[in-house]
Amino acid sequence: MSAPTGPAAGTRRGATSPERAARARAAGRREGRLSGARLAVAVLVVVLLMFPVYWMLRTSVASTAELSSTPVPLWPRSWDLANYVEPWRQYPFARWLTNSVVVAVVSVVLTVAINLAAGWAFAKLRFPGRDLLFLAILSTLMVPVQVIMIPQFQVVIEMGLLDNPMGVVLPRLAEAFGLFMARQFFLSIPDELVDAATMDGAGHVRTFWSIALPLSGPLVAVLVIFTFMWRWNEFVWPLIVLTTADSYTLPVGLQFLVQQFGSDYGPLLAMSFLSILPMLLVFAVFQRFFVEGVARTGIR
């Protein structure tokens, strides 16, 4: 049966065109409201997450008299930078900062190297008991770190590393979490690439260096961010191993401000704010690889 032609068909097409336009406008308004709601939720989440950082900065530039007032104003009435200057004059913060940088950087370099090598071995090499050994390593994630502190402390003493930054670094170099992420990432690399390298005469080390490392940029970014954050913020283990003030890391040294100033939170929060800046810098450098690395290291 032929399609209708003439004035009737034109009338029918003309009648449906406004309806389609109305539906398109309604869909556009719904999409606009939905986008507005998403933006409002995103702004609210950002405000909630960033408010503690803002309050730390706001408190660090306020005077003691202003912080003692009730209620504390949301915006400081005056800016007092003495909270940033006086602690540096009274305590060796430069030394503590240097110690923290050394511990964090050495830990990042060695931990990432160990995790990458071990993750590649568990993902691509075949050897007896591989899966059982991997499960045994993963089971250590269920062991609280406080349980193994005494044996680790005894090992540090026997190695002569008490009150030494390396005593903080060495016991925490190999971690199951980083090894697990590395293994999951390397499992996503096709076995055909490894087989092709083997056929070309490349050994395990050459294959790892030429194939695995160039592809592991996102994984390295994730491991660097997590490892640096953990080592930079670590408090209990450095407090146990480091026994003199000159060898303290920054989180341990901040406790001097609590004892000295008591309820005077201005200097304490000023130094705490400075202590988070290196973590923000590391995240800013590696954040473009971070999301991709987390996505690719998920459970397959």
User: Would you state the pLDDT for residue 299?
Assistant: 41
Classify 128 as helix, strand or coil.
coil
- Long-range interactions of 47-53: CB distance < 8 A, separation 24+: 53/273, 53/276
Considering the domain architecture, whether residues 47 and 96 belong to the same structural domain is answered as no
Considering the domain architecture, whether residues 152 and 30 belong to the same structural domain is answered as no
| Amino acid at residue number 68 | S
Considering the domain architecture, whether residues 36 and 99 belong to the same structural domain is answered as no
User: Would you state the pLDDT for residue 29?
Assistant: 74
What's the angle, vertex CA 204, arms to CA 200 and CA 206, rounded to 5? 65
Considering the domain architecture, whether residues 50 and 156 belong to the same structural domain is answered as no
Classify 63 as helix, strand or coil.
coil
The secondary structure element, H or E, covering residue 261 is: helix 255-261
Residue 32, domain member (yes or no): yes
User: Would you state the pLDDT for residue 14?
Assistant: 47
Residue whose C-alpha is closest to residue 237's, from 161, 159, 160: 161
Distance CA(117)–CA(192), nearest Å, equals 19
User: Would you state the pLDDT for residue 46?
Assistant: 87
Positive or negative: CA dihedral 259, 262, 268, 269: positive
Q: 98: phi > 0 → left, psi -120 to 50 → alpha, else beta; which?
A: alpha
| Residues contacting 294, CB < 8 A, separation 6+ | 222
Residue whose C-alpha is closest to residue 213's, from 248, 189, 237: 189
Distance CA(80)–CA(60), nearest Å, equals 8
Residue 181, domain member (yes or no): yes
User: Would you state the pLDDT for residue 8?
Assistant: 47
Considering the domain architecture, whether residues 143 and 239 belong to the same structural domain is answered as yes
The secondary structure element, H or E, covering residue 44 is: helix 7-60
Distance CA(123)–CA(85), nearest Å, equals 51
Q: Hunting for tokens 């005494």 — which residue is that?
A: 150
User: Would you state the pLDDT for residue 276?
Assistant: 87
Considering the domain architecture, whether residues 32 and 111 belong to the same structural domain is answered as no
Considering the domain architecture, whether residues 55 and 129 belong to the same structural domain is answered as no
Q: How many CB atoms sit inside 10 A of residue 73's CB?
A: 11
Burial class (CB in 10 A: 0-12, 13-18, 19+), 66: middle
What is the domain-level CATH number for residue 227? Answer: 1.10.3720.10
Distance CA(87)–CA(109), nearest Å, equals 31
Residue 72, domain member (yes or no): no
**Number of folded domains that form the chain:** 2
Query: What does the block give as tokens for 160?
Result: 């002569």
Considering the domain architecture, whether residues 31 and 97 belong to the same structural domain is answered as no
Q: Supply the range of the domain harboring residue 192.
A: 91-296
User: Would you state the pLDDT for residue 154?
Assistant: 92
Query: What does the block give as tokens for 197?
Result: 């390298």
User: Would you state the pLDDT for residue 291?
Assistant: 64
Residue pair 242/248 in contact (Cβ under 8 Å)? The answer is yes
Q: Mind listing the pLDDT tens digit of every residue in the chain (300 residues)?
A: 445 555 444 444 444 677 777 777 777 777 777 788 888 898 899 889 888 888 888 888 877 777 777 777 777 777 778 888 888 888 888 899 999 999 999 999 999 999 999 999 998 888 888 889 999 988 988 888 888 889 999 999 999 999 998 999 988 888 888 899 899 888 888 888 888 888 888 788 888 888 888 888 888 888 998 899 999 999 999 999 998 988 999 999 888 777 554 556 778 888 888 888 888 888 888 777 766 655 555 444
| Residues contacting 9, CB < 8 A, separation 6+ | 3
